[in-house]
Structure 1
Amino acid sequence: MKLNWGTGIVIAIIGFISFIMYFVISMSTGKSYNHDLVSDKYYQKELEYQETITATKNAKALKENISIEQSIGGLIVNFPKDFDYTKISGKVFLYRPSNKQLDFEIPISLSKTYLLVPEKRLLGGRWNISVSWNYNNTAYFYQKELIY
């Protein structure tokens, strides 16, 4: 049987399409590939985003905002000194972009004007820290990327 140019081109195109379809199907159904969203409750968080915008504006309007510094014991989250630290409540969330199993949340319970995030919970690398806190029924939000 003789193959002409037209038949060869059609066979090559069908082979190429089959090759691409094999990779598309194996990538989308493979158990070893992770297709997670950043958050499990992604759409619910999107609806609550206006509250976060308002809280961020409140934090930026402060004379002294939260500051974060690294120490031997871990990360120190310093709250404004002109606030009564016993009335501050909220949570600190640390997000590790490279591994969601390392994410954790710490409730804010202060005995001084700062909160210490222990070093044993932090591995070296990039972290996103989000501090959402309330003082006198006013919400505040602070977010920063840092390398530990």
Structure 2
Amino acid sequence: MKMNWGTGIVLVFVGFATIMISMVRICMKQDDLHLVEENYYAETIRYQSHIDKVGNTQERGQQVMQQLPGQAALQFALPAGASGEVHLFRPSDARLDQRLSVAGTPTEEAVVLPLEGLKAGYWKAKLTWQLGEQAFYEELSIHL
């Protein structure tokens, strides 16, 4: 059987259309996609506040959050009277994210937060804290 050019071109277009429709159907069936932020557009409006917090932290010149070497724990050295929140952020699965409150101790001793219950892998710890009227922000990458 001999095919002419017209039949070959039609078969190529039909094959391409079939592959494209199949790919679209596969993509539409996925339900485990997670956005980095639920309210992305509202977050962009508040971004200047975030820039100010980062600037305050850089002016202060001292980090208050660190991962303890060889341990699954974070250490916070917040000044007395400071309080804040740490967001344990899992980029690969938003369902594992956690938010915890932290506060400075009157004696300014470091507070240790164990991380044993977290799933192994890559995490980001995002610390937002406030001392008086000034707000601060720190971020730390963690590998458990």
* Shared fold, TM over 0.5: yes
Within a 5 Å distance, the mapping from 1:74-89 to structure 2 comes to 74-79=73-78, 83=79, 85=80, 87-89=81-83
Bigger CA drift: 17-26 or 91-100?
17-26
Q: Distance in 1 between matches of 2:15 and 2:115?
A: 55
Deviation (angstroms), 1:41: 1.7
Evaluate the alpha carbon distance shift between residue 106 and residue 23 of structure 1 in structure 2; reply closer, same or farther with a 3 A threshold: same
Bigger CA drift: 135-144 or 115-124?
115-124
Could you report, residue by residue, the CA deviation over 1:69-111 in whole angstroms, capped at 9, with x for unpaired residues? 32647221223xxx3x1x1011111101122222101112333
Evaluate the alpha carbon distance shift between residue 67 and residue 2 of structure 1 in structure 2; reply closer, same or farther with a 3 A threshold: closer
Evaluate the alpha carbon distance shift between residue 34 and residue 73 of structure 1 in structure 2; reply closer, same or farther with a 3 A threshold: closer
Evaluate the alpha carbon distance shift between residue 101 and residue 42 of structure 1 in structure 2; reply closer, same or farther with a 3 A threshold: same
Within a 5 Å distance, the mapping from 1:46-65 to structure 2 comes to 46-65=44-63
Runs of 5+ consecutive residues of structure 2 not aligned to the other structure: none
Within a 5 Å distance, the mapping from 1:1-148 to structure 2 comes to 3-27=3-27, 29-30=28-29, 32-70=30-68, 72=71, 74-79=73-78, 83=79, 85=80, 87-111=81-105, 112-148=108-144
* Sequence identity (%): 26
Deviation (angstroms), 1:33: 4.2
Per the normalisation by structure 2, the TM-score is 0.83
Deviation (angstroms), 1:2: 6.5
Deviation (angstroms), 1:126: 1.1
Bigger CA drift: 70-79 or 133-142?
70-79
Q: Distance in 1 between matches of 2:58 and 2:7?
A: 68
Q: Distance in 1 between matches of 2:65 and 2:22?
A: 51
Secondary structure of the 2:68 match is strand
Per the normalisation by structure 1, the TM-score is 0.81
Deviation (angstroms), 1:35: 2.8
Aligned residue pairs total 141
